[in-house]
Amino acid sequence: MDNNHSLMSRRRFAAGFALGSVAMALPLPSLALTVGDAKAMIDKAVGEINATIASGKSETAMYGDFERIFIRYADVNAIAQRALGPPARTASKAQMAAFTKAFQGYISRKYGSRFREFIGGKIEVVDARPLKSFYEVVSVAHLKGQAPFDVRWHVSDKSGRNLFFNIIIEGVNMLASEQTEIGAMLDKRKGNIAALTEDLKTA
């Protein structure tokens, strides 16, 4: 086995281990954050998403709105770090800042595209509950001609603010899928974070 292949194999193993440890790495909910707080924050985020869906704006304008919503309500730094995986620990501050900026645009377009499929429908927050290390807020997407389905939001105040750090749409876990996809993209670029960052700007 050559050195490059060995490095990639170790990286995939480490990324898989890190993914399995995401929940354990998060702190227990602090007394400052309550179920009601988590639900209220997601209610506001969902309200803005519903308004964007119903706005009739162009695709490009919608993506801009979704990015602003993402920045306002998501723990962007934490999501970007977890998506990048172990390389985030050795990246420079400048590399992480550039990657995070590119990643926020990429993830906003990607999930904005999914939310655009909800045009003609809406998302409704229905429940919230504490889990071992965060709060889960459950919402239901009502789309025309389709059975309703869950959109789940994981909320923490680890950053010092009440923010969501994960979304699960129809069982698809954003953190898990992005860590896998970003890891594969980085592997293709032989671990070059700068090259990955540039490519995310147009992905």
CATH number at residue 186: 3.10.450.710
pLDDT digits (tens, 9 = 90+) for 67-106: 999 999 999 999 999 999 999 999 999 999 999 999 999 9
Residue 8: pLDDT over 80:
no
Q: Which residue stretches of 2-92 are H helix?
A: 3-20, 22-25, 35-53, 59-73, 76-84
The H or E element spanning position 128 is strand 122-130
At CA 180, angle to CA 52 and CA 135, rounded to 5? 55
Residue 3 has pLDDT above 80, yes or no: no
Could you tell me the pTM of the whole model?
Answer: 0.81
pLDDT exceeds 80 at position 9: no
Task: Evaluate if residue 27 carries a pLDDT over 80.
Answer: no
**Rounded distance, CA 99 to CA 108, Å?**
14
* pLDDT given at position 52: 95
Query: What average pLDDT does the structure give for the chain?
Result: 87
Statement: residue 189 has pLDDT above 70: yes
Selected residue with higher pLDDT from 203 and 195: 195
Model pLDDT, residue 62? 95
The total of structural domains in the chain comes to 1
Kindly state the DSSP code that residue 20 receives in the 8-state scheme. H
H or E segment at 152? strand 149-156
| Residue 159 lies in domain | 3-200
What tokens appear for 10 in the block? 């170790």
Taking the C-alpha atoms of residue 149 and residue 194, their distance in angstroms, rounded to an integer, is 38
pLDDT at residue 133 tops 90: no
Q: Give the pairing type, strands 149-156 and 163-169.
A: antiparallel
Residue 86, classed as helix, strand or coil, is helix
For residue 129 the two structure tokens come to 């509950």
Residue 114 tokens read as 């999914």
